[in-house]
Amino acid sequence: MWNVNLPNKSFTLHFTHSTEPGYSNFAMAQDLLLNPLHQQSGATFQSWQDWIVPWRFTGLDAEYQAVRQNCGLIDWSTMDLIGVRGADRIPFLHNLLTNDIKALKPGSGCHAGLVSPTAKLLADLIVLADAEAHWLLVDGSRTETVLKTLDRYHITEEVTLHGQTTQQAVFALQGPNSLSVLQRILNVQLRFQRPLDHVIVEVESTPVRLIAHSLTGEPGVVLIVLAEQAAWLWDLLSQRGRPHGLVCVGWEALNTLRIEAGIPWYGVDMDEESLLPETGLEAHAVSDTKGCYVGQEVIARLQTYGSVSRKLMGLVCEGQVVPQANDPITSARGGSAFGGKDGERLGTITSACFSPTLGKPIAMGYVKRPFYEVGTRVTVMRGEQALPATLVKRPFIKQ
């Protein structure tokens, strides 16, 4: 249980707890803004990273199927929004981030990494361009690092940074019907040409930013609203969406869906020791044509002249036992075409779940060179139990 005190109200949140990596110490975890409201809806809670999140509203199967078949509503308020203003903000961000910020027009966005000079990943960012500002949507655990890093590189540029860590809530509608359901709820017409296109709409005189973005592999829209309007917007979405099949979705289903989509999470599948090219983010977060930026030389050298010493790979396991984070990945019996003795450690699991669509356990994990080739047979050691598995490309499921 976790006690939450609000003005004139007190709630007791009930949740399960795990000691596996990815789950935080609940005594140190922070509540999401709307946890008391989720409690009233019957949600159970789990400590995850730095947060206590709604884990289930009804049940994993119903919530999972809602996103796969129709529309699910997710509280994604573990994210922070950092505002970057000033006349020099575009070249400033362009010279620091891995993607082409100069190419962004107002109303568009991109995925980008903030890396160290040695290409270690400091943060995984969504960059949104407005006419008067650029916005960085970042996992809350990385907000301080991002602000400190940007400030360290800020010398004479006309740039101001604004952390908005407590001023907004972030929700997501995910599923094949998410856009059409949202249009019915808000009574607006929406057309997004590209991923991360965004627009601000007035909903009953309240501005809400809408972003075309998938957290699950399914089509989706992310909504950002001021904190004082968060409860009102969640109620509006959930109540008006219910007749159209919208279901409130917890983080158990979200975690399952994002693993099936092969989407790595910071603090779980990558951290400050991860080279960006090890994670697979270079496929959509790195520009090969923009020129110099912090860490560019290392990334370009790895892409041009060599390969990383390990890669984040997908694994499809045999049987019904689901691996856990930190389980060793070892060579399969008889070795492989790349050599390797029986039982040689090749890497480590970072995330895993049982895939309802594939009907098998799946996982992500780092595998060392030269074994990280699709089709390589490996073994995952779950305690004393050896789980046969095959390396595959991410995502596991393409929509």
Q: What is the pLDDT of residues 149-192, one digit of tens each?
A: 999 999 999 999 987 655 899 999 999 999 999 999 999 999 99
Per-residue model confidence (pLDDT) at position 398: 84
Maximal C-alpha separation, the chain:
66
How large is the average pLDDT for residues 281-310? 92
Nearest to 160 by CA among 93, 224, 107, 208: 93
Q: What is the pLDDT confidence band of residue 15, given thresholds at 50, 70 and 90?
A: very low
Domain 309-399: give its CATH superfamily. Aminomethyltransferase beta-barrel domains (2.40.30.110)
Rounded Cα distance, 256 and 197, in Å: 26
289: which 2 tokens?
A: 């044509």
Q: What is the pLDDT confidence band of residue 25, given thresholds at 50, 70 and 90?
A: low
Rounded Cα distance, 239 and 207, in Å: 19
Q: Tell the residue number behind the tokens 């990558």, with chain if given.
A: 270
Q: What is the pLDDT of residues 219-255, one digit of tens each?
A: 999 999 999 999 999 999 999 999 999 999 999 999 9
DSSP 193: -
Q: What is the pLDDT confidence band of residue 199, given thresholds at 50, 70 and 90?
A: very high
CB atoms within 10 A of CB 41: 14
Q: 257 and 67 in contact (C-beta within 8 Å)?
A: yes
Nearest to 199 by CA among 216, 212, 213: 212
Rounded Cα distance, 50 and 72, in Å: 23
Per-residue model confidence (pLDDT) at position 296: 96
Q: 88 and 150 in contact (C-beta within 8 Å)?
A: no
Q: 257 and 216 in contact (C-beta within 8 Å)?
A: yes
**Cα distances (Å, whole numbers) of residue 13 to 26, 117, 231, 336:** 12, 43, 17, 49
Q: What is the pLDDT confidence band of residue 334, given thresholds at 50, 70 and 90?
A: low
For residue 218, give the 3-state DSSP assignment: coil
- Return the domain boundaries, the chain: 2-77+166-260, 309-399
User: How long is the chain?
Assistant: 399
Mean pLDDT, the chain, integer: 91
pLDDT tops 50 at residue 14? no
Per-residue model confidence (pLDDT) at position 17: 39
Q: Which CATH class is domain 2-77+166-260?
A: alpha beta
Could you tell me how many helices (H) and strands (E) the chain has, helices first?
10, 23
Per-residue model confidence (pLDDT) at position 338: 54
Edge-first strand order for the sheet with 247-249 is: 198-203, 206-212, 220-226, 168-174, 72-75, 247-249
Q: What is the pLDDT confidence band of residue 94, given thresholds at 50, 70 and 90?
A: very high
Q: What is the pLDDT confidence band of residue 18, given thresholds at 50, 70 and 90?
A: very low
Q: pTM of the full predicted structure?
A: 0.91
For residue 276, give the 3-state DSSP assignment: helix
Q: What is the pLDDT of residues 96-136, one digit of tens each?
A: 999 999 999 999 999 999 999 999 999 999 999 999 999 99
